[in-house]
Structure 1
Amino acid sequence: MSTSPVHLWGPVRRAENDGVRLAFDALTEGAGGEPLLLVTGLGANRYWVPDGLCLALAQQGFAVARYDQRDSGESTRLPPVATGNPISALFGRRGAAYTAEDMADDAAAVLDALGWGSAHLLGVSLGGAIAQRVALRHPDRVRTLTTMAAVPADVSGLATLRYIRVGTLAKFARLRFPDTADGAVAAGIAVSRLLASPSRPFDENAARADALRNLDNGLHDRQAQSRQIGAQWSGPRIDAITRPSLVLHGQDDPLIKPTAARAIAARIPGARLRLLPEVGHELPARAWDTIADELRTLAA
């Protein structure tokens, strides 16, 4: 999570896509490097991407920017839909708030606002699927594609089950927290615990400190998560991706099976797969240098 002084990041700015306003900012260190856009996961705001990882990427020659997806963080929240349960939305009983194409276009709008004609993309979890879709829908805007802890972007409904650990999904569905500051902290700790690698001791004190610094209600906003998950993709299959691609995945991911990463890597022509030991569905400090090194290798 971002815990460094405010001056590490530039001012919050807004991009716009068809009436949806998207909050974003850029790392001040390494601003002259190669453009790299971070795409975040389900419900999570941009502050959940650790500053340490962003600095490691800057040291590898990247100019790093991050944004809040629609329905998260400081970006536009959409009206409620009939499906207010993210699990139901995942398996087909979806709302109709917007499409997956709209979310891919959001990333392109952020690139426009940054003045970047093209950029490297790093998408994590849901952000990994979105990054895959950007590479399909806006290939000229993507220099390289890195997807981490994600499922294939063209898989939906019950077909997603082959890649998801149902037990963890059920635990996630049972989480309930009040819409208060205390509820946001409790949600942050619970989600961090649920998604951490079981091969490492869980540091609850660190998780609490992170959650206190970032009171993100998106982690327990079931309506917003349902709208994000319910955004359906009608575009090409990922076999059509032409950009240089890297697939990263934690070996201990308790939510998305490594078979998802293997499927992505097998289907995107020329993609390279790297499994990360003792990493769950998360971005732990032990993996920052490896991730940054892998992106540098891909960009080169």
Structure 2
Amino acid sequence: MSSTQEHQEHLWGPVRWAENGAVRLAFDSLVEGADGEPLLMATGLGANRFWIPDGLCRLLAAQGFAVARYDQRDGGESTHLPPTATRNPLSALFAKREEAYTAEDMADDTIAVMDALGWRSAHLLGVSLGGAVAQRVALRHPGRVRTLTTMAAVPGDVSGLRTMRYIRMSTLAKFARVRFPDTPDGAVAAGVAVSRLVASPNRPFDEQAAREAAERNADRGIHDQDAQSRQIGAQWHGPPISAVTRPTLVLHGADDPLIKPSAGKAIASRIAHARLVLLPRVGHEFPECAWHSVATEIRDLANSER
């Protein structure tokens, strides 16, 4: 048994499964705070649920939340779809149509997980691609969303060329060049490389800590360009984010090297009464220095919904 599995048995409940048509979605729940208010987390492009720091999840539990997290389709232990013609995230970003599934399908995955958890409604926290997914859930299923927190994300209603204004294309190109062998060692090397790419340039990069984290979570999804292409190519056909009616918090790293802070500002300006918080010395990541602020802000947002 791996150290990650051993740790999960103590801090997290067993992996469970939700179904949305032919897609099976892996999820688990934090043991601490299980009687709190439901809070579901959605992760970023290619990343599995283990990228969300346990320390942040425990702080959220201490703030009164029952925390659950899931692997998006084409990520982690969830269903991976067959290959498509577009097999590079950069080209998938500018494809004229999706080939595998839609953004609506991914939003409905979130609801399937909530159903499997027995949650009629929940607070949502989406990070990066997960932030865009969470925005779309709030548009497509507003009655199921208590509050919406979107972090390090682009507006959920933009696609193709309109996305370019928010993405640092040089960093995305570096991601596209992250190629390592499809082995456990390759996944660890990719994890360190990705951690370096997303880190704030205004904090020293702790390579040893990044390597230890990657060894605990050798996630092949972060360099699976086929799967990432399908995720990034899923296009939204619904209303604009200005139609979001749920209480909304927009978090963004002030030093984000992948998604410009202007993306967070755009989201906050277009959703009525949304609160924008720029996190100092934070990149496209969840560093420990930001955990307390993130947990406190989400708690304050939930209090406003009551």
Q: Same fold (TM over 0.5)?
A: yes
- Give, in whole Å, the separation in 2 of the partners of 1:9 and 1:167: 37
Whether contact under 8 Å (2:176, 2:225) holds in the other structure is no
User: Which residue in 1 is equivalent to 2:177?
Assistant: 174
- Give, in whole Å, the separation in 2 of the partners of 1:96 and 1:51: 35
User: Which residue in 2 is equivalent to 1:113?
Assistant: 116
Whether contact under 8 Å (1:254, 1:281) holds in the other structure is yes
Q: For residues 153-207 of structure 1, what are the alpha-carbon distances to aligned partners after superposition, in whole Å with 9 as ceiling and x for unaligned?
A: 0000011010011211121111111101111001000000000000000000000
What is the aligned counterpart of 1:40 among 35, 38, 43? 43
User: Which residue in 1 is equivalent to 2:292?
Assistant: 289
State yes or no: 1:203 paired with 2:206: yes
- Give, in whole Å, the separation in 2 of the partners of 1:93 and 1:268: 27
User: Which residue in 2 is equivalent to 1:75?
Assistant: 78
Whether contact under 8 Å (1:97, 1:231) holds in the other structure is yes
In structure 2, runs of 5+ residues without a counterpart are none
> What SS does the corresponding residue of 2:26 show, helix, strand or coil?
strand
Amino acid paired to 1:31: A
Kindly report structure 1 stretches of 4+ aligned residues shifted beyond 3 Å. 1-5
State yes or no: 1:163 paired with 2:199: no
User: Which residue in 1 is equivalent to 2:68?
Assistant: 65
The alignment's C-alpha RMSD in Å is 1.3
State yes or no: 1:143 paired with 2:155: no
Q: How many pairs were matched up?
A: 300
User: Which residue in 2 is equivalent to 1:218?
Assistant: 221
State yes or no: 1:87 paired with 2:93: no
Report the CA distance between 1:92 and its aligned residue: 2.0
Report the CA distance between 1:3 and its aligned residue: 9.2
What is the aligned counterpart of 2:282 among 279, 283, 289? 279
- Give, in whole Å, the separation in 1 of the partners of 2:296 and 2:252: 15
Whether contact under 8 Å (2:59, 2:295) holds in the other structure is yes
State yes or no: 1:234 paired with 2:246: no
> What SS does the corresponding residue of 1:288 show, helix, strand or coil?
helix
Report the CA distance between 1:6 and its aligned residue: 2.5
Amino acid paired to 1:216: D
State yes or no: 1:23 paired with 2:18: no
User: Which residue in 1 is equivalent to 2:258?
Assistant: 255
TM-score scaled by structure 1? 0.98
Amino acid paired to 1:299: A
TM-score scaled by structure 2? 0.96
In structure 1, runs of 5+ residues without a counterpart are none
